[in-house]
Chains A and B, each alone.
Chain A
Amino acid sequence: MSAVATQAPSGRGRRSSPMTWRWSDRLVLVAAWSAGILLCLIAGAIVLYMGYRGVQYLRPALIFSRPQPSTSQAGSGGFLDPLLGTILLTVIGVLVALPLALASAVWVVEYGQGGRGRQTLARVVESTIEIVAGTPDIVIAIFGLAIFQLSLLAPFSFRAEGGGVFGRSFIAAGAMMSLLALPPLYAATRDGLQAVPGHMREAAFALGKTRITTIRRVLIPRVRSNIATGTTLGISRIIGSTAIVLILLGSTLRIETQGSLPVVNLLRGTGSSLTSYVYENSPAGEGAAPQKAYAAAFVLLIFVLALNVIVDRIGRAHASASGLTAVGAVV
């Protein structure tokens, strides 16, 4: 009785020795190992180097003190204003993107299925959001400049003496940031809604609810975690964007309000963000303060890390969030 059950060489079990393979396979094996080791080395180097520099240069005083114009680096303060600027931009971007993304996802999944005309429109909506996803940041920034420098939109920034519209303000940058956050939010919500089993909707209809009430009371609460994931991905994209800030935020060291209405003046004002602060303090900008650049970059990395962890947690808590990696929600 042959009780020997030879285990098939698959996965991580016993495998055939590479010495018996063809040379092309051995080459690929070596190449794959090299690529993997190279990846680990570079990833480790980047993370460790930024961590080392960050710990070396980050002081709590930097986070909580405002930047000052000064002739020396010692007096030039910290990066509180850029930090607040990043937060403000994120809030504006998400607030504008959320209704757009939710409305589009809900419409495409719930209303866009019946009939030829509707399906084409749904395809159109999906394609436009994909186009927005694939547009480079800098083109979105130039588009923002084109719109907000129109006379019509002068109230969103300010008008200079000779009649030219400045066109750069928190609301201008925030509105364009919303285009960055829109695709991940849309994709996450759409995937979540599609994953809701049909019988939930049918049960609600059987109870006499209209479609819109079903959406409001049953479906949206159910895809809360998807919306949270999408929002986190969107926030991650917003805080990492530098091009839009450099072109649309007016590059003032501190947050400068514009006008005198309490909240509106902040929206119309100019400022900077953590990313533009890192840029300006590097040799590519003015500041010649690499220490401050490293410190701000470290804070930025901590934010990104925290957002990634949040996405992971939400993803694990709701295992049905299929196909949502830190980056893949767009494809």
Chain B
Amino acid sequence: MHRIRRLSVAFAVAGVAGVAAPALASATSLVTISGATSSYPLVALLAAKYTKLHPHKVRFKIAQGGTTVGLNDVKDGSVTIADVAQEPTSADAGLDFYPIAKYAICVVTNKSNTISNLTQAQVTAIFTGKDTSWSQIPGATASGPIEVFTRTSVAGVLTSFKSLLLEGKSVVKSATEEATEGQLRQALESAPSGIGFLSNYQADKGTLNPVEFNGVACNKDTAASGQYAGVSVFFEVTKGPATGGAAKFIDWVDKSGAAKKIIASQWVPIG
């Protein structure tokens, strides 16, 4: 009788302490991020570095899903920050866009197809389905029908590609859609007559053939100098101004030298 009463009192005290402890303990805030697959490698590296330099301040949960999914999630409050790879539109009223890096969109072919340059007219003709065979493209070493690879509709890179390199037109309906940049890259690596578009980080891995656009090579240097036409921006987007842990993180990305070093390694720093 006594033993049981003592045990239950002990449990109750432990339970209350256990629940109260987190309230008294650290103020680690949780920052959830979702969105673009093209900026995921960059954001993952930045988050890892930030956690190493400022431990126990912020915890990150980074998901992907595509730019539109990220925007939807931040609009309905499911995540703190959205990774976005396209410019803000009128549908994004009420959201704050913080640019963190620039990236170049490269047209890429399979490694076996060593075509070196495509003009704007050629790119438009290929991706809108007007030109359907590699024999119509001078300089191409591939043969047969052109296989166009594109991204699903949620991709920010697709939106930026259409407005910057495709004269605002839409990609042909029969093109194969891939859900993430990684999948698009892998699809191109195994399709000898394939063509697609990737951010420069994916295109520069040495496994594909990045094509010059209107005579300008696609890499982070030509993007930085402004020569290359297809340069877009990675944004961190919050609903209203960023607060708390998210604000501290975005501020650190903007100002700290360590963050700039990470950005400059494969991408183009802002400003």
Contact = CB atoms under 8 A, between A and B. Distances in A.
> Is chain B in direct contact with chain A in the complex (CB below 8 A)?
yes
Interface of A: 69, 71, 158, 160-164, 166, 250-252, 256, 258-261, 270, 283-288
Say what secondary structure dominates the interface of chain A: loop
A286 B77 contact: no
B182 interface: yes
B41 interface: yes
A285 B182 contact: yes
Contacts of B186: 283, 288
B18 A163 contact: no
Contacts of A287: 182
Given A252-B61, A256-B61, A288-B186, A164 B266 contact: no
Given A250-B61, A261-B18, A286 B48 contact: no
Contacts of B180: 286
A284 to B, nearest CB: 7
Given A158-B30, A260-B21, A261-B22, A164 B45 contact: no
Interface string B213-254: 000000000000000000000000001000000000000000
A146 B9 CA distance: 37
A288 B32 contact: no
B12 to A, nearest CB: 16
A251 B63 contact: yes
A252 B45 CA distance: 14
B80 interface: yes
A162 B41 contact: no
Contact-size category for B: 20 to 34
Given A162-B78, A164-B77, A286 B21 contact: no
A160 B80 contact: yes
A71 B182 contact: no
Contacts of A252: 61-62
A286 B178 CA distance: 11
A161 B77 contact: yes
B135 interface: no
A263 to B, nearest CB: 11
Contacts of A258: 30
Contacts of A162: 76-78, 239
B201 to A, nearest CB: 8
Contacts of B59: 256
Which among A164, A285, A286 has the highest number of chain B CB atoms within 10 Å?
A286
A160 B44 CA distance: 19
Given A69-B41, A71-B266, A259-B22, 13 more contacts: A71-B201, A158-B30, A160-B32, A161-B32, A161-B79, A162-B76, A164-B78, A250-B63, A256-B59, A260-B21, A261-B21, A285-B182, A288-B185
B152 interface: no
Contact of A166 (B18, B48, B78): B78
A161 B79 CA distance: 7
Nearest to B21: A260
28 contacts: A69-B41, A69-B44, A69-B45, A71-B41, A71-B201, A160-B32, A160-B78, A160-B80, A161-B80, A162-B77, A162-B78, A164-B77, A166-B32, A252-B61, A256-B59, A258-B30, A260-B21, A260-B25, A260-B26, A261-B22, A270-B61, A283-B186, A285-B182, A285-B183, A286-B37, A286-B180, A286-B183, A287-B182
